[in-house]
Chains A and B, each alone.
Chain A
């Protein structure tokens, strides 16, 4: 099992670093949007909540480009090739891991860029970092199977965002409310939020793992 996961993960990262599709899409999108917001607002947004909302909206929409990890398998006809050597469960877990890593990287890059461009002070840095990582992992876990669904439906464009949004809204809401505390001088009291994010993502991750083999077949 571990060997299968390692082989798949190495394969996915190798392909992503060579083709650079996901990386360039995400970086371009997040940089452009953050700078656009900074430019439009002139750095004059005062409210912690507005900063939290904008940050998580940019992370969410930047993350919508990660569906390419599944699109690529369908478009390049490699899905069956992969199934010849590994079970759908192995494929799902490896894609999930890759998706989580990419989303965490997105969250950290967007977070740092946002803080820099918008000149936001973080009063609870440790909690902020943990929230960024927990929120991005939760987003990745909840949207991995949705990415598979949209890839099999061969529907590029907005379908991934439309399907993901209702499922990830609890995550975004909780993350925004907790991030607001990090940006304000309040004492951080949202440790239950972090637990909620991890619990929600665990539950959806388990269900996705069970359901994935039913859709990742018959190509």
Chain B
């Protein structure tokens, strides 16, 4: 409960800072405010994926079903946040570059993450009743986790990008103004707390679902 209240406060502060306090970025103008939502959403989508992969590794090592609850919860959250990342990214792309989709490597990499989530859900649906289902899902998540650096980190750097690093970040360092940096960090913190809260809720739901199925059988 305390976590929810804290996150609500941080989120409110974050929204105030994003839409009222922080000045617009040079060149990008008022549209730059979406960065403070888009980047944390992408961060949480990636974080969720990594957490799911790590939980899957732990399930493979220890064979404790609780790890699978964490993995599944994280995948659900990551999927949802990936969609939001794509939506916010597309809206910004429309305003900045005139079309919703430009096959920019960074746009593509988050979409690939989305494809991994969709593939995982397909597998989960098919192996729900299979006694080895949890192990199959875990192995797939670990394979996807190992392949993901190539999708998320290598691919965007292989080819030129429309993403605004050349404008905001010409020297390849974090060169945001102090105010922008503060707002971005607070926004990232707010969304990370939101992720933790959603994980706790979904974990309980998956655990209850498992226990109900056990009782029915």
Residues of A within 8 A of B (CB): 142, 145-146, 149, 152-155, 159, 162-163, 165-167, 169-170, 173, 200, 203-204, 207-208, 211, 214-215, 218
| B19 / chain A contacts, CB cutoff of 8 Å | none
Cα(A131)–Cα(B54), bound, Å: 34
Check if B155 sits within 8 Å of A211, measured CB to CB.
no
Determine if B135 and A214 form an interchain contact, defined as CB atoms under 8 angstroms apart.
yes
Q: Which 3 A-B pairs have the closest CB atoms?
A: A166-B115, A166-B116, A170-B150
Interface of chain B residues 108 through 154 with chain A (CB within 8 A): 112, 115-116, 118-119, 122-123, 126-127, 130-133, 135-136, 138-140, 142-144, 146-147, 150-151, 154
| A165 CB contacts on chain B under 8 angstroms | 115, 119
Contact B139 A149 (CB under 8 A): yes
Chain B residues near A162: list those with CB within 8 A.
Answer: 118-119, 122-123
Contacts of B150 in A (CB 8 A): 170, 200
Whether A167 pairs with B144 at a CB distance below 8 angstroms is yes
Residues of B close to A142: CB separation below 8 A = 147
Most buried by B among A142, A203, A208, A211: A211
Interface contact B119-A166, CB-CB below 8 Å: yes
Report whether B123 and A173 are in contact in the complex, using a CB–CB cutoff of 8 Å. Answer: no
Instruction: Give the size of the chain B interface in residues (CB under 8 angstroms).
Output: 28
Query: B155 contacts A146, CB within 8 Å?
Result: no
Q: Is B60 an interface residue (CB 8 A)?
A: yes
On whether the beta carbons of A173 and B136 are closer than 8 Å, the reply is: no
Chain B residues within an 8 Å CB radius of A207 = 142-143, 146
Whether B126 contacts A155 by the Cβ 8 Å rule is: yes
Q: For chain A, what secondary structure do more than half of its interface residues adopt (helix, strand, loop), or is it mixed?
A: helix
Which residues of the partner chain B approach A149 to less than 8 Å between Cβ atoms? 123, 136, 139-140
Tell whether, in the assembled complex, residue A153 and residue B146 are in contact, meaning their CB atoms are under 8 Å apart.
no
Question: Which single member of A152, A167, A215 contacts B147 (CB below 8 Å)?
Answer: A167
Closest CB in chain A relative to B83 CB, distance in Å? 16
- Whether A145 and B151, one on each chain, are in contact in the complex, defined by CB atoms closer than 8 angstroms, is no
Q: For B126, list chain A residues within 8 Å (CB).
A: 153, 155, 159
How far does the alpha carbon of A208 sit from the alpha carbon of B130 in the complex, in Å?
21
Q: Are A170 and B151 in contact (CB under 8 A)?
A: yes
Q: Which residues of B contact A211 (CB under 8 A)?
A: 60, 139, 142-143
Measured CA separation A203–B142 after assembly (Å): 12
Partner of B132, one of A146, A166, A215: A215
List chain A residues, Cβ under 8 A from B112: 166, 169
Interface residues of B in 152-185 (CB under 8 A from A): 154-155
Q: Determine whether the beta carbon of B144 is less than 8 Å from that of A214.
A: no
Nearest to B139 among chain A residues (CB) is A211
